[in-house]
Amino acid sequence: MLGPNSRLPAAIALLGTILGLIFAANSTLDYAAHLDRRLHDVHCSYIPGAPAKAEAESCRAAMYSPYSAVLKDSYWGGIPVTLFALGSFAFFGGFCLYLLIAGQRAPAVAVGFFAAVSLTPSMVSLYMAIISVVKLGVICEICVGIYVSSALVSLGGILGLFTLRPFPPAPDGSAAPRRPAMSFLFPIAWLAALGFTTLLPSVVYASSVPDHRPYLKKCGELKRADADKDQLIKAASPRAVRSATLFEDPLCVTCRSLHDRMVDEGILDRLSLRLVLFPLDSDCNWMLDRPMHPGACTLSKAVLCGRERALQVLQWAYDEQEYLTRAGKRNDATVRAVIQERWGSDMISCIDAPETKARLNSHLHYASDNNVPVSTPQVFLTKQRLCDEDTDIGLRYTLDQLAPEVLR
């Protein structure tokens, strides 16, 4: 059991805050680096301070998600939530150090206050972890680092309560030492200080973010509108308020995350869609000399064969993307087997029909007629192409500027 003199709880909490500061700082600085609209490696490791890397799918998915930042409509990329973590960990760090040095002289009010507020990072972490699993389907390593750090802070805070037991009587019979009394106004002041420190980094960030408006329309336009001959997939809900053309590949990871975000945020529902299938697979796409996403041609044909259920088939392909990617790397027959298992043999007959092949080819020719970049995903609002960086962390801000009606 922990004695009244134990400094272990404060030490545990201090360790948690140090780790939390490292993880939150890495994540925040990664986020800020992207304000230059370029691609950057990101920190994505359970090891605090591990170097940034290019392959960091889970952390990028979390970064691009609507939950990574607040006020995304007002600021390009929004205000990353890790800034709040940084500010609060700064406060917790100082408070832990105070408790660690004060030891048994720390007033019970201070120990109790810390125990109470130390739960907040864990509660936020729990909320974010649930969102990660339920909404994003991934857990980013650096996020886990912050969750664990928060748990350590909470553990330290709770264990601190066990040190509040009365001191045992002294062997010489003198009065047992007592923790000093403290006014209950102190916790109010500390709470205010916690609020201030939590918000300050965000205020600094918000006051210095650059203006991205001049860059939003600099990524080109469609040369020609689509026509019947292009045989694009068209879909529009009754709530659609703006036409948009999307170039997607069923096996493209970024397409999946963009598509999912647009669904989650209700954006897709507000768009009158023209979907261009642009598989990055040399099996059907002459613009590549090797397949980047083997099996994507067959899956694109399956989407076309879905007809009025085309978006449903595409969503299925995204949901099963990891499995289908492995199947595609094995061979096309495996991809077909998976499609047949889910959608039946009629789908396979349709995939093999020359008309389907010709229709997919017309999608690819629509891409070449417009000289779009050979990459996916691509979003065009009416004719205006959204820059790649504006479809990830800058999506809501860009829509707010170029198509505010979509967000209303």
Which residues sit at the interface with another protein, rule CB under 8 A? 21, 25, 28-29, 32-39, 83, 86-87, 89-91, 93-99, 101-106, 193, 197, 200-201, 204-205, 208-210, 212, 215, 227-229, 231, 284, 286-287, 354, 357-358, 361, 364-365, 367-368, 370-375
CA pair distance 178, 162, nearest whole angstrom: 15
Smallest distance from another protein to CB 231, Å:
7
CA pair distance 127, 117, nearest whole angstrom: 16
**Would you say 138 and 57 are in contact if contact means Cβ atoms under 8 Å apart?**
yes
Smallest distance from another protein to CB 205, Å:
5
Smallest distance from another protein to CB 120, Å:
16
What's the DSSP call for residue 69?
Answer: E
Smallest distance from another protein to CB 57, Å:
19
Q: 79 vs 335, which CB is nearer to another protein?
A: 79
CA angle 279, 283, 289 (to 5 degrees): 90
Residue 353's CB: how many other CB atoms inside 10 A?
14
Strand segments, DSSP code E, in 25-117 are 69-70, 79-80
Smallest distance from another protein to CB 130, Å:
27
**Would you say 17 and 148 are in contact if contact means Cβ atoms under 8 Å apart?**
no
Torsion angle defined by CA atoms of residues 24, 26, 31 and 36, in that order, rounded to the nearest 10 degrees: 150
CA pair distance 213, 132, nearest whole angstrom: 30
Q: 121 vs 267, which CB is nearer to another protein?
A: 121
Smallest distance from another protein to CB 338, Å:
26
Count Cβ neighbours within 10 Å for each residue of 47-71 and write b for 16 or more, e otherwise: ebeeebeeebebbbbbbbbbebbbe
**Would you say 206 and 337 are in contact if contact means Cβ atoms under 8 Å apart?**
no
Q: 94 vs 137, which CB is nearer to another protein?
A: 94
Q: 31 vs 316, which CB is nearer to another protein?
A: 31
Q: 79 vs 338, which CB is nearer to another protein?
A: 79
Smallest distance from another protein to CB 362, Å:
8
Q: 120 vs 334, which CB is nearer to another protein?
A: 120
Q: 228 vs 308, which CB is nearer to another protein?
A: 228
What's the DSSP call for residue 353?
Answer: S
Residue 207's CB: how many other CB atoms inside 10 A?
7
